[in-house]
Chains A and B, each alone.
Chain A
Amino acid sequence: MLLSRRLLWLAGCLLVILVGCAPRPPATDKEALQDYLETNDPLEPTNRKLYAVNEGFQDVVLRPLAVGYRHAVPEKVRDSVHNALANLTSPVMLGNEILQAKPRKAGNRLMRFIINSTLGVGGLFDVATSLGYPEETTDFGLTLATWGVGEGPFLFLPVIGPSDFRDGIGLGINAAMDPFTWLGQGSTVVYLELARYGMTAVDLYERNMDSLDSLKKSALDPYATLRSVYRQHRRSQVEDAKQDDPPTIPIWFPQPPQKTTQ
């Protein structure tokens, strides 16, 4: 009790030190003001500090782990680890597809989970993709977006990286929705959970390390570039989530022509 109160106090102090706001340009400077509104990053000074902390964490912890992982483990095995971790997120994604009112996608997800958990040996092999159920990802941030919630100001979260108010809330709810976090208590469960989160972080970083390196090498302001890339990518995901609603028609019924991008 005492410990948690102290922790709260410490967190409060940290927040006071960290929170700073970017000055809003005067209304007379219309173009600068428009830039400021488009960027929508009023917490920029705080976010930049968290970005610096995150960079340190990546350099000291994640990078050595990811580099070691890449050297020690063959690509095929790494793919299997990725598949197994992705398979564990299926229940949350299924929940989100139901909340987004996408019955066909939810059905596909269920099929993927069943096929990969059985034929794919506990998710190690992605058999479902070759059977016509390709991997797609979704989360509660996208669910909120399909309900009409705007992205809100930009946020840079330690360890997690670029985000925004909507996606930050989405992350919390996504974690709470995960049935694996409802499993009983006890040290074994805690260790398994920690191992899963740790492995997910290393897997994610290893897969994106090269792109991140090349972004940092070519950008004058890597923070601003990352912010722009995150925002654009997220908006395109939201657009896809809103538009992509495959029809639910029984297999024996005449099918409508498929929308193809080819």
Chain B
Amino acid sequence: MLCSRRLTFALAALWPWVAFEITAARAAQDSAASFVDNVAKELAAVIDSNDPPEVKHQRFLAIIENSVDVDGIARFCLGRFWRQASPQQQREYLALFRQLLLNAIIGRLQEYKGVKHTIGRTIHQTDNTLVQTVIVRPGQEPAHVDWVVADVDGKPKIEDLLVEGTSLRITQRSDYSSFLLHNNSNVQALIDKLRQMLANQQQQQAQKSG
């Protein structure tokens, strides 16, 4: 009897905290879902607009810079090799990664004309929130895309996309990690390779527009 009274008392004392935790978790889920919804809508608006390519590029850039945790993703992709890199190498790597990632995203977005999305369930995880969506493109089968949203410096940011269960940042990390293992764990070799990739891309771009 005494025990159950103590339990009731403990529960009553803890209740505000439990309630706060539940409300906070729900609020985080709702805000993550509306954040993803907004980003997807903003991107779709630019994709379907009739702006010239350079204007579209600038508008995409502004949305991505504002909503994607590019530096966080870059550090994740380098994995354990991040700590082995010198500060100078870290800076170089971050700059190259940013440019390559932006090119890859913006290059891909053009293929999404007429895209529609529906927001599904939101799952709260330890470090981030998963927002499930279904992306439908005209003439294509619907794709399940999960957006991983985390709080970075008080602002929600996209950390990863899971396309049909495949994480883009884990795939990228596997690629870099395997490259480094076959190049004596030399981060400079990776940086040189990335620089070469970027130069090739820019050359192709120049050929296309020229």
Residues of chain A at the chain B interface (Cβ within 8 Å): 31, 35, 39, 218-221, 223-225, 227-229, 232-233, 235-237, 239-240, 260-262
CB-based contact A261/B104 at 8 Å: no
Whether B134 pairs with A229 at a CB distance below 8 angstroms is: no
B120 touching A220 by the CB < 8 A rule? no
Cβ–Cβ contact B144 & A220, under 8 A: no
Q: Contacts A261-B120, A261-B144, A262-B134: A232 and B167 contacting too (C-beta < 8 A)? A: yes
Chain B residue contacts of A261, Cβ below 8 A: 120-121, 132, 134, 144
* Distance of A225 Cα from B177 Cα, bound (Å): 10
Contact between chains at B120 and A218 (CB < 8 Å): no
The 27 listed contacts between A and B (C-beta, < 8 Å) are A39-B174, A218-B104, A219-B175, A220-B178, A220-B179, A220-B190, A220-B193, A220-B197, A221-B178, A221-B182, A223-B178, A224-B175, A224-B177, A224-B178, A225-B175, A225-B178, A228-B170, A228-B174, A228-B175, A229-B171, A232-B166, A232-B167, A235-B165, A236-B166, A237-B165, A261-B134, A262-B134
Instruction: Please classify the interface of chain A as helix (H, G, I), strand (E, B), loop, or mixed, using the class held by over half of its residues.
Output: helix
Contacts between chains A and B (CB distance < 8 A), count: 61
In this assembly, does B66 line the interface, its C-beta being within 8 Å of a C-beta of chain A?
no
Interface string of B76-91 (1 = CB under 8 A from A): 0000100000000000
Q: Tell me if B186 is interfacial: C-beta within 8 Å of chain A.
A: no
Residue B112 CB within 8 A of the other chain:
no
- B72–chain A nearest beta-carbon distance, Å: 20
Interface residue? B35 (CB, 8 A): no
Using A220-B175, A221-B182, A233-B164 as known contacts, list a sample of 5 further A-B pairs with CB atoms less than 8 Å apart, ordered by residue number in A: A219-B175, A225-B171, A228-B171, A235-B165, A240-B165
What are the residues of chain A within 8 A of B176 when measuring CB–CB? Answer: 220
Interface string of B122-156 (1 = CB under 8 A from A): 00000000001010000000001000000000000
B193 and chain A: residue at smallest CB distance: A220
Within the assembled complex, what's the spacing in Å between the Cα atoms of A240 and B190?
A: 36
Given contacts A35-B177, A225-B175, A229-B171, contact A236 B164 (CB under 8 A): yes
Give the residue name and chain of the B residue nearest to A22 (CB). Answer: B181
Q: What are the residues of chain A within 8 A of B174 when measuring CB–CB?
A: 39, 224-225, 227-228
State how many angstroms separate the Cβ of B37 from the closest Cβ of chain A: 13
CB distance from B189 to the nearest CB of A (A): 10
B164 CB contacts on chain A under 8 angstroms: 233, 236
